[in-house]
Amino acid sequence: MKNPPVTRVLVIGYVWPEPRSSAAGGHMMQILETFLTQDWDITFSSPAAIGEHKADLAALGIRECSIELNSSSFDDFIRELAPDIVLFDRFMMEEQFGWRVEKHCPQALRVLETSDLQSLRDARQQRLKDYLKQQPDADDFTPLFAPALDEEFQLMAGTDLAKREIAAIYRCDISLMISDVEIRLLTEQFHVPPALLHWCPLLIEPPTRAFVPYDERAHFLSIGNFRHAPNWDAVLWMKNSLWPLIRQRLPGAQLHVYGAYTPPKATALHNPAQGFHVMNWAEDALQVMTAARICLAPLRFGAGIKGKLADAMLCGTPNITTPIGAEGMTDEQPWPGLIGQSASVLADAAVTLYQDRQAWTQAQENGRQLLAERYAPAFHGPELVRRLTQCRSELSQQRRANFTGSMLRHHLHKSTQYMAQWIEAKNRTL
């Protein structure tokens, strides 16, 4: 009996995955590892420069291939590869390469890894900017943290970014959503068909070992890629508002701020006299997280779900965050820390949890339980494979049902194709 043909997967990455630098990089690696459990043949490609913290994909048996934007060399590449599944990492890659994939591999399943809704994140960032213009000394950000979904829709609907991102979701056969809150936003407000979306949160093995106990930990920690705007805003808010309030109550407290790609503007905030230490990139993020007593994540805007808070749960480190930080990460399970909506409330929560051994230990166990109930790879990995397999088997019917996507592909891909060909021709003459 012949073995069934091997499923060939092509990933077109916005960047090369850096799992130790960002949650998006970690999520991509979790998806790739799920595919590897099926013995799928995987090629990862990207037009981006290789970053200093890139994962060693070749060591996992994944081929690596650099590709070019606006170049017909990609046509030869994908024709020869003939993938069964093409995964676009972020909607910008679907915009750039989607028409080429459809032209040369029309029967390949087109999958979009959204990571988070960038249009939602950007709309929230603009809302924060507008709020601070009106109230530059604001302490309480409650109005920003609990809008109804229809209010989020109103923020996003008029933006070019939302139109581009949601159009890419329609053009693909299925989109992976890391946050179920964002699924509700898309289905209830933008009326995206549920059949086009699949909930795929972070895939994390629940910790089974004993956590490092309260007495063996000290200090506060904040971690996150400095290139990610929500993280940088959180660092500034901590420096200017949160941390001074914590130090008033805990004069000996120390905050260690870790992040990849530390810019000079972040290094300039380093002030040991204030207990504010900018530590650059952490070689082992889980190790420094395990040594801390509290993880601070005062995010004033953002989208998706937060890898730093999942890492905190994995390490048994209670956290202090905002409703933005906790969004999409729990389904009414007890939170592994405390949530606040103003600098003063967050600072009080941080001091209280830092000093209360019993509450701290309970928060630690809440994190363990939350990971086990919501993020277990044993459930989400097979469910992802099942959904992709089902979509492949029902591809013709699904595409017929998604006329809007077909229409958008027709119009956008034609214009994108001619623009790409014009750019390529222009580059030849330079």
Q: Structural domains in the chain? A: 8-119+149-203+377-429 (3.40.50.2000), 214-374 (3.40.50.2000)
**How does pLDDT run across 42-54, given as a tens digit for each residue?**
999 999 998 888 9
Helical H segments across 292-394, by residue range? 307-315, 323-326, 343-355, 357-374, 377-393
Query: Which stretch of DSSP H or E encloses residue 266?
Result: helix 264-267
Using alpha carbons only, what angle is made at residue 386 by residues 168 and 204, rounded to the nearest 5 degrees?
Answer: 85
- Cβ proximity of 65 and 44 under 8 Å: yes
Q: Mean of the per-residue pLDDT values for the chain?
A: 93
Whether residue 3 has pLDDT greater than 80: no
Whether residue 414 has pLDDT greater than 90: no
Give me the percent of the chain exceeding a pLDDT of 90.
Answer: 83
Most confident of 3-12, 206-215, 346-355, 416-425: 346-355
Query: Does pTM surpass 0.75?
Result: yes
Contact partners, residue 380, CB within 8 Å, separation at least 6: 200, 201, 203
